[in-house]
Structure 1
Amino acid sequence: MSRLSDTGAGALTAWRSRWCPPDFSGKVGVAYSAGADSTALLAAAVSVWPGQVVALHVHHGLQAAADGFEATAREVASRLNVPLQVGRTDARHAPGQSPEDAARQARYLALAGMAREADVSVVLLGQHADDQAETLLLALSRGAGLPGLAGMPERFVRHGALFGRPFLGIPAATLRDWVLEQGLAFVDDPSNTDPRFTRNRIRSLLMPAWQACFPGFRQALARSARHAAQAQVLLDELALEDLQTVGVPPRLSALQALSRARQSNVLRHWLKQEAGAAPTEAQLSELLDQVDACRTRGHRLQLRAAGGRVERADDHLVYRTL
């Protein structure tokens, strides 16, 4: 194997040692778009898990080139002797919804469904170091908290399926060189250069500027993301401890005994657990002010938060979906 293929296989082997049991023998799905990144991932996965890999291709139906993507996917999967499963989905966005978010949500839902049908234990994604850097820059531009600054995790569960990102430490150029060296066909999605999408503007404008000023910025941003992720784990553990004290639903009197920072942390955690709700900074600040003001039995509390509202019920907070 070449140095570049060793890099891909090495990343997969390291990911397997961290997240898979030593005797793992299940099927491994690869989210295979037929782009350079997922092609590198598919070929590397075949070398690490021979006979266990299934390629999962999502046909979004968003552009005329999608049929060509599927044709390339079938060609490469056949060359690598990998079974290919194709899922079709309608990824069009609803009014007011981000096209990027709509396509992402439709893709994960389709991949999770195909994983169940193919009896796949884990679905691997081809996101790499450049994607992680873009994610962190996007989070910074939006004033994100620790969950956003933690970037993309190596392992997560969505729609009941386990997903993994073994290539987060590998630059995009390395993966592309690997695919070219192997002579494998791949496609370039024209939507990846469309300036209407925020990520594409970050990729074409910000990333080159960061590269010119700070050549090692990908590794530095990835390190910052790991620090943020570690800090978020500690905050989650503290929130669980505080929930044991304040109760579920939270008691106002117990909340008021905590510092404002711990109130904020435990309420964020409770709302996420209770309803998958993520209040804005302004909503949470107003909620903390109202919690502090509830010192008498007759004091009402009611605040819109995410897709519902937080209300007072005796000495407790409750969340009601609108």
Structure 2
Amino acid sequence: MNTAAPANPCAAPVAAWLAAAPAGCRHAVAFSGGADSTALLLAAHAACPGQVVALHVNHGLQAAANDFESHAQRFCETRGMAFFSARARAAHAAGESPEDAARRARYRCLADLALAQGCGEVWLAQHADDQVETLLLALSRGAGLPGLASMPARFERHGMAFGRPVLEVDGAAIRAWLVDIGEPFIDDPTNTDTRFTRNRIRQHLLPAWREQFPAYQQTLARSARHAAQAQRLLDEVAAQDLLAVGQPPQIARLRLLSVERQANLLRHWLRLGWQASPSEAQMTALLRQIAACTTRGHHIRLKVANGHVLRDGQVLRFEP
């Protein structure tokens, strides 16, 4: 007796995602060749063949990077899927992690490739455990609400829409499905390197959470959604305050706000214009300088994120 092949865990969420998309829209999948992006690409191709392209970014950060790209290209060619790749060279600034620089370069490359192919959205394969890891990583760093909100299902960067259709899918189920049907995928050796905090969370913390709190994916994801909702409200307040204070912010008007609203406005202004996130110490120093800025000769030039906030006459400016 023949048994039906198991269903791809990504199939249902991809179908729901497509149902909300404009008809005839071409989609792109960020395809590393790993288990998660392999399952997402297969689900997308099955749901709308001919309307999905695979995009691969080769950072050249590992000796096996070229092998990963070759695997991804062969995988697509044997299945009749369109494949496009780009090479990114991401130099990190002083005080910035190479991983953050590589992430920024990857988004830029993906956006450029997708725009060139006429795609309306790039799909990323982060799943439920990735969301939990992101939340726990943010907690380990003492992050504020933007960090605790973790990964949004949708966002825009470099003129391209990005989406995460399988953000609620169990990562273990994805890998088990691929093994069950015998589909090849890449196991990136850096994913087990415990020098990286995320990998320590994955290998040591998540098994304990899974054992003690079986519904941890749902409960922690709910906390992330609450944080995201609160952050959206703060963004609304910041946008209203920025209209009143001016852009760039006028120091005298900024000083009329409470310290908490000053901080909220400044974080919003920096994030909106430059994707810059000041540390707690940097924001505290900046707020002290604003409070002390009562004379024309008061000078402000403070290191904030990947640049400097400085006084320019009656306003604040940011130099990346």
> TM (normalized to structure 2)?
0.89
Which residue number corresponds to residue 120 of structure 1?
119
Give 1:64 deviation, angstroms.
3.3
Which residue number corresponds to residue 64 of structure 1?
63
Which residue number corresponds to residue 224 of structure 1?
223
Which residue number corresponds to residue 309 of structure 1?
309
Which residue number corresponds to residue 152 of structure 1?
151
Cα 1:270–1:74 shift into 2, 3 Å: closer
Cα 1:87–1:291 shift into 2, 3 Å: closer
Which residue number corresponds to residue 257 of structure 1?
256
Matches within 5 A, 1:96-135: 97-135=96-134
Matches within 5 A, 1:134-213: 134-213=133-212
Give 1:92 deviation, angstroms.
6.8
Partner Cα distance (2:262, 2:101) in 1:
33
Structure 1 unpaired stretches of 5+: none
Give 1:299 deviation, angstroms.
6.3
Give 1:173 deviation, angstroms.
0.7
- Indicate if the aligned counterparts of 2:300 and 2:309 stay in contact, CA closer than 8 A: yes
Partner Cα distance (2:95, 2:153) in 1:
30
Which residue number corresponds to residue 10 of structure 1?
12
The SS at the match of 1:162 is strand
Give 1:311 deviation, angstroms.
1.6
Cα 1:104–1:257 shift into 2, 3 Å: closer
Aligned residues: CA RMSD: 2.4
Identity of aligned residues (%): 52
Count of residues in correspondence between the two structures: 315
Partner Cα distance (1:208, 1:216) in 2:
12
1:224-282, CA deviations, whole angstroms, 9 ceiling, x for partnerless residues? 11111111111111111112222223334433332221121112222334544332212
1:168-215, CA deviations, whole angstroms, 9 ceiling, x for partnerless residues? 101111111222233321111111111222211111112112222222
Give 1:93 deviation, angstroms.
5.6
Partner Cα distance (1:211, 1:302) in 2:
49
Partner Cα distance (1:193, 1:169) in 2:
23
Give 1:320 deviation, angstroms.
4.5
Give 1:222 deviation, angstroms.
1.0
2:288 alignment partner AA: D
The SS at the match of 2:120 is strand
Give 1:217 deviation, angstroms.
1.3
- Indicate if the aligned counterparts of 2:36 and 2:171 stay in contact, CA closer than 8 A: yes
Partner Cα distance (1:153, 1:254) in 2:
33
Cα 1:4–1:319 shift into 2, 3 Å: same
> TM (normalized to structure 1)?
0.88
Partner Cα distance (1:130, 1:309) in 2:
37
Cα 1:58–1:257 shift into 2, 3 Å: closer
Partner Cα distance (1:290, 1:192) in 2:
43
Structure 1 stretch displaced more, 231-240 or 107-116: 107-116
Matches within 5 A, 1:71-86: 71-86=70-85
Give 1:154 deviation, angstroms.
1.1
Which residue number corresponds to residue 270 of structure 2?
271
Which residue number corresponds to residue 300 of structure 1?
298
- Indicate if the aligned counterparts of 1:62 and 1:91 stay in contact, CA closer than 8 A: no
Cα 1:291–1:12 shift into 2, 3 Å: same
1:129 alignment partner AA: A
Give 1:218 deviation, angstroms.
1.5
- Indicate if the aligned counterparts of 1:4 and 1:174 stay in contact, CA closer than 8 A: no
The SS at the match of 1:123 is strand
- Indicate if the aligned counterparts of 2:286 and 2:302 stay in contact, CA closer than 8 A: no
Partner Cα distance (1:258, 1:3) in 2:
58
- Indicate if the aligned counterparts of 2:310 and 2:316 stay in contact, CA closer than 8 A: yes
Give 1:75 deviation, angstroms.
3.5
1:309 alignment partner AA: V
2:281 alignment partner AA: A
Partner Cα distance (1:250, 1:106) in 2:
29
- Indicate if the aligned counterparts of 1:274 and 1:319 stay in contact, CA closer than 8 A: no
Cα 1:89–1:228 shift into 2, 3 Å: same
Give 1:12 deviation, angstroms.
1.4
Partner Cα distance (2:171, 2:179) in 1:
12
Which residue number corresponds to residue 43 of structure 2?
44
- Indicate if the aligned counterparts of 1:43 and 1:80 stay in contact, CA closer than 8 A: no
